[in-house]
Homo-oligomer: A and B are copies of this chain.
Amino acid sequence: MNAKNRHMTLRRYPEGMPQEDDFALLEAPMPEVMDGAVLGRAMYLTVDPYIRARMSARFAEGYADRTALGEPIGGEAVYEVVQSRHRGFKEGDLFAAFGGWQEFCALPGEGLRRVDPALGAPAHHLGALGMPGLTAYAGLTRLADAKPGDAIFVSAALGGVGSVAGAIGRDMGCRMIGVSSSAEKCRYAVDSLGYHVCIDRTAPDFATQVSAACPHKIDVNFENVGGDIFWLALSHMKAQGRVVVCGLVSGYNDDAPPPGPDLTGVLLREIALKRLVVKGLMVADFWSLYPEFQAKVGALIRSGAFAPKVHVVEGIENAGRAMIDMLSGRSFGKTVVRVGRDPTLG
């Protein structure tokens, strides 16, 4: 076993898009394993937009602690138990927890979320079968008031949340309209994620294609991005449509609100005129749905209806680069960083 525990931290808070130089790999002593705790070796670290949000004073406020300089960057990971002082866990068991970007983590065994590889590959437990998937499931089944036949618009269709939204919405009988950042990703969204149509936001006629894809307008906008795409979706909302505000990744790199004019009044006016229902989504309200959600999405994966794509980056030392690629749309699929051996891959 390592004598040292490497972790990825911030050297400084990024301004705008993070740079590799903002990150630093540090060594710390191995954690102590108290009575009732388990020591996990990280197999996969997640790389999600919320991790960037937590690097910003503006976005972290009121939401979670801002990532501290020098400490492991906060985020979920899948672990293999390498030492157990909790009678519910034995060596080789898998679990997921918010352990941050580090190689080893000691955590109380009580309440840890077990990872069942029979449901799907361990990396999926950070994506389609994990928190991003639960976010999509809770948003569509609990907040969106979606009925069969509803047109559901999903920005970032290839993202951790968006890719699962496609599969769940299709299974609910909805018409799924996605947006992604390349023609190749859009093909994948249609072929493997459940989207009926997916539109490349880099296409010169993007807005026209969105209009053509929504001839009867949008019943539900599942918002992951914010900014221009949010306004485009808003202009296509049906009266009494629903907006689920899940993420606003387009703004996470900005330390201050963009220049004006201030369109908040325009937004409120549209909400009134169209009698929209806009709901905020925080997945922490829905942990109790994990079993129901994993049963549903696990079945969709096993049936072949849903083939979530995972983008694996090797080595904790590359986690910063992985985040930059994810934020800039260069990665293809849910990004994870492989840190330790994945026993399910042999």
Binding site for B on A (CB under 8 A): 59, 62-63, 223, 226-227, 230, 245-248, 251, 254, 256-282, 285
Contacts and interface: CB of A to CB of B under 8 A. Distances in A.
Contacts of A227: 265
Contacts of A266: 257, 264
A265 B257 contact: yes
Total copies of this chain within the assembly: 2
Given A273-B62, A280-B275, A282-B275, A261 B256 contact: yes
Contacts of A246: 272
Contacts of A245: 268, 271-272
Contact of A257 (B223, B259, B262): B262
B223 A268 contact: yes
A277 B279 contact: yes
A63 B239 CA distance: 11
A261 B259 contact: yes
Q: Most chain-B CB neighbours within 10 Å: which of A63, A230, A256, A260?
A: A260
A272 B280 contact: yes
25 contacts: A59-B269, A62-B273, A226-B265, A245-B268, A245-B272, A248-B265, A248-B268, A248-B269, A248-B272, A251-B265, A254-B265, A256-B261, A258-B261, A259-B261, A259-B262, A260-B261, A261-B262, A264-B264, A264-B266, A271-B280, A272-B280, A273-B282, A274-B280, A275-B281, A278-B278
